[in-house]
C-alpha cells in the first residue's frame, strides 16, 4: 500500500514539475505482461485466507516468490530505463528476505501492534500470516536476514500506517527516478529540441 502512495506522490510531483502523463505511453516495456500478472499474484497472496504459513511448499508462498522472480525478469529486460537499477535492487532485497523466511515478508509482533493491525492476525504468535499483507509474524531472533524485513515504521503525520523494508525504500526511490526522468526530463528534452 505504501508503494502505491509513493507512486502516486511521485506522479503528482512529476506533473507539478511540468511532466507530461502521455510520456508514459511512449515508454516501450519489454515483457510488460509480466508486471500485471506478478501484481495479481501478490494481491491473491495478500488476501488468501490462510491463517498460518504452511512452510516452503505453501502455494501462496510459492506464488509470492514466483511474483518476485517475474518482476526481476521484467527489470532485467528493461534495465536501460531510468530507475531500473534501484527497482531491481529493491526487488532483489525483498525476494532474498522473503525466500529466506518461507515465502512471506517477516514482521515482528511489536510492529504489528504499533501499526494497530492485531485484528489482521489470528494471534501474534510466530508463523501467523497477516491478512491483507504478504507478511508473516516472526520474532527478530527467528528472522533470517532480519535487517531486510519490514522493520521501518512510517511515522505520523503520514496517514497510512505501514512498515517498510530496505527493499521497499529502494523500490520507492527507483519509481521516483523512473517517473521524474520519464515524464519531466523527456518533456524538457522535447522542448529543447523544439527551440
Contact call for residues 106 and 97 (beta carbons, < 8 A): yes
Residue-level pLDDT at 30 = 97
Residue-level pLDDT at 122 = 85
Residue-level pLDDT at 187 = 47
Q: How many domains does the chain have?
A: 1
The count of other CB atoms within 10 Å of the CB of residue 152 is 14
> Residue 128's Cα: distance from chain center in Å?
21
- Closest CA relative to residue 103, chosen from 153, 164, 50, 141: 50
- The C-alpha cell 517517473 sits at 179
What range does the domain containing 127 cover? 31-172
Complete DSSP assignment for 20-81: -THHHHT---TTTTHHHHHHHHHHHHHH---SB---TT-HHHHHHHHHHHHHHHHHHHTTTS
Residue-level pLDDT at 143 = 96
Residue-level pLDDT at 89 = 98
> Does residue 86 sit within a domain?
yes
> Does residue 191 sit within a domain?
no
> Does residue 8 sit within a domain?
no
Residue-level pLDDT at 192 = 52
Q: Is the peptide bond before 47 cis (omega within 30 degrees of 0)?
A: no
> Does residue 121 sit within a domain?
yes
Angle ∠(127,137,176) on CA atoms, nearest 5: 135
> Does residue 61 sit within a domain?
yes
Residue-level pLDDT at 189 = 57
Contact call for residues 148 and 167 (beta carbons, < 8 A): yes
Contact call for residues 97 and 145 (beta carbons, < 8 A): yes
- Closest CA relative to residue 64, chosen from 91, 86, 88, 32: 91
> Does residue 154 sit within a domain?
yes
Contact call for residues 61 and 102 (beta carbons, < 8 A): yes
> Does residue 128 sit within a domain?
yes
> Does residue 57 sit within a domain?
yes
Q: What is the pLDDT along the chain (195 residues), one digit of tens a residue?
A: 678 888 899 999 999 999 999 998 899 999 999 999 999 999 999 987 677 777 667 899 999 999 999 999 999 999 999 999 999 999 999 999 999 999 999 999 999 999 888 888 888 888 899 988 899 999 999 999 999 999 999 876 777 788 999 999 999 999 999 999 999 965 455 555 554
Contact call for residues 69 and 112 (beta carbons, < 8 A): no
Amino acid at each position: 500500500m505504501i508503494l502505491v502512495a509513493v507512486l502516486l506522490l511521485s506522479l503528482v510531483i512529476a506533473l507539478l514539475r511540468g511532466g507530461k502523463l502521455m510520456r508514459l505511453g511512449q515508454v516501450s516495456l519489454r515483457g510488460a505482461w509480466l508486471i500485471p500478472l506478478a501484481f495479481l499474484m501478490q494481491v491473491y497472496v495478500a488476501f488468501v485466507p490462510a491463517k498460518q504459513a504452511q512452510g516452503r511448499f505453501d502455494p501462496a508462498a510459492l506464488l509470492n516468490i514466483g511474483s518476485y522472480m517475474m518482476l526481476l525478469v521484467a527489470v532485467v529486460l528493461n534495465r536501460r530505463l531510468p530507475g531500473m537499477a534501484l527497482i531491481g535492487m529493491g526487488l532483489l532485497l525483498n525476494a532474498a528476505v522473503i525466500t529466506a523466511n518461507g515465502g512471506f515478508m517477516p514482521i515482528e509482533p511489536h510492529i504489528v501492534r504499533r501499526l494497530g493491525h492485531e485484528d489482521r492476525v489470528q494471534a501474534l504468535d510466530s508463523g501467523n500470516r497477516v491478512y491483507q499483507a504478504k507478511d508473516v509474524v516472526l520474532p527478530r531472533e527467528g528472522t533470517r536476514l532480519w535487517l531486510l524485513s519490514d522493520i521501518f515504521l512510517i511515522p505520523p503525520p503520514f496517514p497510512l500506517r505501514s512498515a517498510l523494508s530496505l527493499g521497499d525504500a529502494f523500490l520507492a526511490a527507483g519509481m521516483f527516478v523512473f517517473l521524474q526522468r520519464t515524464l519531466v526530463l523527456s518533456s524538457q528534452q522535447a522542448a529543447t529540441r523544439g527551440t
